[in-house]
């Protein structure tokens, strides 16, 4: 706010012009430098006397400049102190209110972080529940399908066993037949076994078609369960965001834990050498 029209602090009176040295100061400086320029080397008592006088002349000018510097600077130092006191006094209540409001904002932000953590925890629990229910439902569908197929397989095996027994009985009758009546009975048993075989094959074909249909239904049910669980997980996994205000700076403290240092070392070869403690304190 250096612009006088927009600055919050005003200055009464004129602004001082730039400082300058007067002619006497310039002359004293020039004479001291000329006197010092004559000193090339101190080799005896006389040259030392000349050199010391040159020192004294230089020191006198330096001391005079320093004395006037302090004299002319003192009002500015006092003005600076007065400015500091003025600004501190005017800012005291502002700083107190800033601290109070900042504490309220920090308290809210802390509550928001706790809220976000809690909602994320509940989200994880909800997603785990959805996954458990999905897996349980998929298992139920698979178990029911497996039970149906097992019953069908058992029934077909039982029918095939009966057909084999009928065929074996008919073949035995044919082998043991010694007269017309026995041969007719054997033939009748053979025809009956063939009829049972045809019925068993037809039943097998029908049951296989039923099983294909049941498998298709089970796959459709599984797909529906997957889709339903996916939709539920999508809704439950909505990102939880902390309340933000434009212009506010928020920081998060991250704690990074390296669980597989040698995997990280494969990606960043210099990491392990810069962290040698892992070689002894945390071996894999």
Q: Specify the number of domains making up the chain.
A: 2
**Which of 65, 88, 104 corresponds to the end of one domain?**
104
pLDDT at 16: 66
Cβ neighbours around 186 below 10 Å, total: 19
50 within some domain? yes
Residue 210 lies in a domain: no
**End-of-domain residue from the set 86, 104, 122:** 104
**What is the distance, to the nearest Å, from the Cα of residue 33 to the centroid of all Cα atoms in its chain?**
69
For residue 170, tell me if it sits in a domain: no
CA-CA distance, 142 to 149, in Å (whole number)?
Answer: 10
Rg of the Cα atoms in the chain:
52
In a domain, 267, yes or no: yes
Cα 8 to Cα 13: distance, rounded to the nearest angstrom: 16
| Position 276 in a domain | yes
Tens digit of each residue's pLDDT (9 = 90 or more) over 139-186: 999 999 999 889 988 988 888 888 888 888 888 888 887 888 888 887
Residue 274: pLDDT band with limits 50, 70, 90: low
Q: What is the pTM of this model?
A: 0.53
Choose the final residue of a domain: 104, 129, 148.
104
Query: Does any domain span residue 127?
Result: no
Domain that holds residue 33: 23-104
Q: Is residue 243 part of a domain?
A: no
d(CA 273, CA 280): 12
In a domain, 66, yes or no: yes
Report percent pLDDT > 90 for the chain: 26
User: Which of these, 173, 167, 233, lies nearest to 197 by C-alpha position?
Assistant: 167
Residue 135 pLDDT: 92
Burial of 181 (0-12, 13-18, 19+ CB in 10 A): exposed
């Amino acid at each position: 706010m250096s612009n006088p029209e927009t600055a919050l602090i005003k200055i009464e009176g004129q602004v001082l012009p730039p400082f300058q040295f007067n002619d006497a100061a310039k002359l004293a400086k020039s004479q001291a430098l000329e006197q010092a320029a004559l000193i090339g080397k101190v080799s005896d008592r006389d040259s030392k006397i000349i050199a010391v006088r040159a020192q004294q002349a230089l020191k006198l000018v330096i001391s005079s400049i320093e004395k006037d510097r302090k004299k002319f600077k003192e009002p500015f130092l006092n003005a600076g102190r007065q400015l500091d006191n003025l600004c501190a006094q005017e800012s005291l209540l502002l700083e107190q209110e800033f601290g109070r409001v900042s504490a309220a904002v920090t308290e809210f932000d802390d509550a928001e972080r706790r809220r976000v953590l809690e909602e994320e925890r509940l989200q994880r629990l909800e997603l785990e529940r959805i996954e458990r229910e999905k897996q349980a439902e998929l298992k139920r569908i698979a178990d029911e399908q497996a039970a149906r197929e097992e019953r069908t397989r058992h029934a077909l095996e039982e029918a095939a066993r009966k057909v084999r027994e009928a065929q074996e009985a008919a073949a035995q009758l044919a082998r043991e037949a010694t007269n017309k009546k026995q041969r007719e009975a054997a033939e009748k048993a053979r025809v009956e076994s063939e009829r049972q075989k045809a019925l068993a094959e037809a039943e097998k074909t029908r049951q296989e078609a039923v099983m294909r249909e049941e498998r298709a239904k089970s796959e459709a049910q599984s797909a529906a369960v997957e889709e339903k669980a996916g939709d539920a997980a999508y809704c439950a996994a909505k990102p939880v965001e902390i309340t933000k205000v434009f212009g506010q700076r928020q920081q998060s403290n991250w704690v990074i834990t390296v669980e597989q240092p040698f995997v990280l070392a494969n990606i960043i070869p210099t990491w392990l050498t810069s962290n040698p403690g892992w070689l002894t304190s945390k071996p894999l």
